[in-house]
């Protein structure tokens, strides 16, 4: 039984989270000054603790404790170091520093492992600077990433990448892309309220939901709010309201756990005394059953494309799709048994958010461990997890890595 050093974890979380911009919350955009400070600090800790440190071409950092008898058999853990805009203190970073803590504890208690233990700090997952997500894990697993994409300031990904990585090449650091691991375990905050609401301490992730995003465009005719009779309007906003209601009801009827979100809406001309002539709104829908998402896509087209009032037309465009990812059943099962042994109340669940694990799962056996999020809040400065729950996650991860690597 390992006793994680809570104060050290809290100290390290605090150290990284103090690399701040002038913005509210955490703003560690990939390759930005705060990101460089954070990844460099992690490398320094790794070198101090005598990990073998590798940095790849994208700035993803790998801290290895080589195995004694099976050094090429790698048991990996980790997450990403970047954040969303005005993000919280735990998303991504907890999986990186919790993984570091677990490996440090294991080596201190049991010495060098038989298999290599690896902590991975992926360069980027959130898509908060460039118009792509998971670029760290995509690069590691051999998926293509467009080096020419630009951030809002017009800076090319490739230029930002090169100048940032030059800062990470401290003495003792290797520049290479390591081989893929045999397993990958990602420790993460849940980002939702299920664990906290049910009084549970651990979530064992069996799948990451598939998600699709659409934009619906409703075209009517802008006109004077006073002089246009009600029966002679082509009001794009009222039609949008009807569509959103019909879509929401259809989603609920299809499957109650199909998430349906209209998060973004634009009204034109958006003036109180003009009947709206053009409205667009987004649909974000997610589920762990791909067939449900297929069926709902069909329903979206039916509802949106059914002709409504005269002079109004609606259309829908899907602009993002990621399929359901099934994680490794055996690893989740093993972790649930370990949680039981540690007296931790756990549940198997699907993740409603995307994670590096969905990229890693394409190339290796992958699992995730969730800890509770207070009030279910994430991607916001209010994102929080109790110190006790942070500790429990590290405790279970340590047990899992021990079981696999020793």
What residues make contact with a copy of itself under the rule CB under 8 A?
190-194, 197, 209, 211, 213, 222-232, 235, 237-238, 241-242, 244-245, 248, 252, 256-265, 267, 270-276, 282, 284, 286, 351-354, 376-380
Query: What is the torsional sign of CA 229, 231, 232, 238?
Result: positive
Residue nearer to a copy of itself on the CB measure, 138 or 213: 213
Residue nearer to a copy of itself on the CB measure, 47 or 353: 353
Residue nearer to a copy of itself on the CB measure, 248 or 301: 248
CB of 33 to a copy of itself, least distance (A): 25
CB of 327 to a copy of itself, least distance (A): 16
CB 33 within 8 A of CB 371: no
Task: Name the burial class of residue 334, with classes exposed (0-12), middle (13-18) and buried (19+) by CB atoms within 10 angstroms of its CB.
Answer: middle
3-state secondary structure of 330: helix
Tokens of 55: 């940095």
Residue nearer to a copy of itself on the CB measure, 9 or 349: 349
CB of 404 to a copy of itself, least distance (A): 27
Closest CA to 357 of 99, 30, 130: 99
Residue nearer to a copy of itself on the CB measure, 252 or 298: 252
For 369, the enclosing helix (H) or strand (E) is strand 365-371
Residue nearer to a copy of itself on the CB measure, 177 or 347: 347
- Cα distance between residue 344 and residue 239, in whole Å: 50
Closest CA to 65 of 108, 10, 94: 108
Residue nearer to a copy of itself on the CB measure, 209 or 304: 209
Closest CA to 120 of 167, 44, 180: 180
Question: Helices marked H in 255-360 — which ranges?
Answer: 290-305, 329-342, 356-360
Residue nearer to a copy of itself on the CB measure, 244 or 361: 244
CA distances for 63 relative to 46, 116, 167, 178, 373, angstroms: 6, 10, 17, 10, 27
278: alpha, beta or left? (left if phi > 0; alpha if psi -120 to 50):
beta
CB of 44 to a copy of itself, least distance (A): 32
CB of 166 to a copy of itself, least distance (A): 33
CB of 240 to a copy of itself, least distance (A): 9
- Cα distance between residue 232 and residue 306, in whole Å: 20
Q: Phi and psi at residue 162, in whole multiples of 5°?
A: -60, -45
CA distances for 406 relative to 85, 114, 120, 338, angstroms: 39, 5, 19, 15
CB of 220 to a copy of itself, least distance (A): 12
CB of 147 to a copy of itself, least distance (A): 25
Residue nearer to a copy of itself on the CB measure, 70 or 284: 284
CB of 272 to a copy of itself, least distance (A): 4
Burial 148-159 (b: 16+ CB within 10 A, else e): eeebeeeeebee
Residue nearer to a copy of itself on the CB measure, 347 or 380: 380
**DSSP label at 375?**
G
CB of 306 to a copy of itself, least distance (A): 18
């Amino acid at each position: 039984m390992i006793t994680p050093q809570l104060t050290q974890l809290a100290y390290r979380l605090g150290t990284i989270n103090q690399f701040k911009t002038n913005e509210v919350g955490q703003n560690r955009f990939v390759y930005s000054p705060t990101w460089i400070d954070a990844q460099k600090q992690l490398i320094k800790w790794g070198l101090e603790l005598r990990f073998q440190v590798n940095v790849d071409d994208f700035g993803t950092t790998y801290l290895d404790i080589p195995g004694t008898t099976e050094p090429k058999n790698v048991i990996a853990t980790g997450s990403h170091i970047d954040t969303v805009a005005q993000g919280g203190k735990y998303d991504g970073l907890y999986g990186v520093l919790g993984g570091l803590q677990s490996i440090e504890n294991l080596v201190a208690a049991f010495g060098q492992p038989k298999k290599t233990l690896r902590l991975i700090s992926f360069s980027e997952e959130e898509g908060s600077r460039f118009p792509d997500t998971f670029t760290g894990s995509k690069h590691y697993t051999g998926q293509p990433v467009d080096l020419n994409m630009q951030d809002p300031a017009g800076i090319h990904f490739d230029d930002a990448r090169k100048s940032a990585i030059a800062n990470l090449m401290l003495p003792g650091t290797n520049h290479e892309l390591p081989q893929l691991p045999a397993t990958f375990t990602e420790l993460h905050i849940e980002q939702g309220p299920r664990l906290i609401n049910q009084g549970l301490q651990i979530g064992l992730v069996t799948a990451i939901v598939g998600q699709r995003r659409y934009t619906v465009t409703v075209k009517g005719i802008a006109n004077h709010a006073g002089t246009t009779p009600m029966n002679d309007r082509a009001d794009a906003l009222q039609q949008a309201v009807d569509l959103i209601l019909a879509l929401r009801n259809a989603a609920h009827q299809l499957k109650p756990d199909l998430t349906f979100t209209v998060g973004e809406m634009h009204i034109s001309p958006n003036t109180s005394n003009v009947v709206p002539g053009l409205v667009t709104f987004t649909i974000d829908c997610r589920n762990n059953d791909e067939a449900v998402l297929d069926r709902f896509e069909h329903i979206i087209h039916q509802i949106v494309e059914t002709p409504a009032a005269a002079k109004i037309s609606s259309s829908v465009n899907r602009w993002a799709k990621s399929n359901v990812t099934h994680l490794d059943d055996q690893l989740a099962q093993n972790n649930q048994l370990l949680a039981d042994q540690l007296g931790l109340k756990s549940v198997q669940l699907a993740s409603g958010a995307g994670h590096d694990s969905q990229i890693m799962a394409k190339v290796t056996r992958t699992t995730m461990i969730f800890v509770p999020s207070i009030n279910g809040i994430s991607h916001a400065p209010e994102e929080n997890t109790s110190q006790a729950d942070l500790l429990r996650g590290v405790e279970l991860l340590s047990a899992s890595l021990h079981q696999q690597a020793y």
